[in-house]
Structure 1
């Protein structure tokens, strides 16, 4: 069952298990793929990013905020200007796009 999109903290919007229709409407399969092994690193978003995790698990902690757990099957939007720390707990493979 698809969970509604919710604000997960720090302006991060999270949808657990979006429908195939939603993914098709967004054109997710045409987006580039990014991979990352187990690691921890700081990141600042210069532009809004939407991504769909194909594999893996990550905990993203906005600076000064609460951690957000993201796992395979999640559709996530990170707002431009967000500074955070990525803790990749299981190797990640994701489709992603940046808004113009």
Structure 2
């Protein structure tokens, strides 16, 4: 099963190395929806709170300052608890 990977509070050097500040920004209001990933997405959470539940897995709480990898093949249900703002990039 595909696993969501979270790096809590990565260093500024790590963010610079990844080029996070150049990534696009995605915003989403409080809502619930499903996302199936057909490619790997890396995201850095700027604001908000989401609970992502992988198909057949346990809910994962994701907060500002988290660097998250959503692997290709991940099917998931999302609950945006607080309005979300994140940088994101596809491999």
TM exceeding 0.5: yes
Matches within 5 A, 1:12-91: 12-91=4-83
Question: Relative contact order (alpha carbons < 8 A, sep ≥ 6): 1 or 2 greater?
Answer: 2
Structure 1 69/10 Cα, relative in aligned 2: closer, same or farther at 3 Å?
Answer: farther
Aligned positions, number: 91
Give me the TM-score of the superposition, normalised by structure 1: 0.89
Q: Which residue of 1 aligns with 2:89?
A: 97
User: Unaligned regions of 5+ residues in structure 2, if any?
Assistant: none
Q: CA RMSD in A?
A: 1.0
Runs of 4+ in 1 over 6 A off after TM superposition: none
Give me the TM-score of the superposition, normalised by structure 2: 0.97
What secondary structure does 1:22 align onto?
A: helix
Aligned partners of 1:13 and 1:78 also within 8 Å: yes
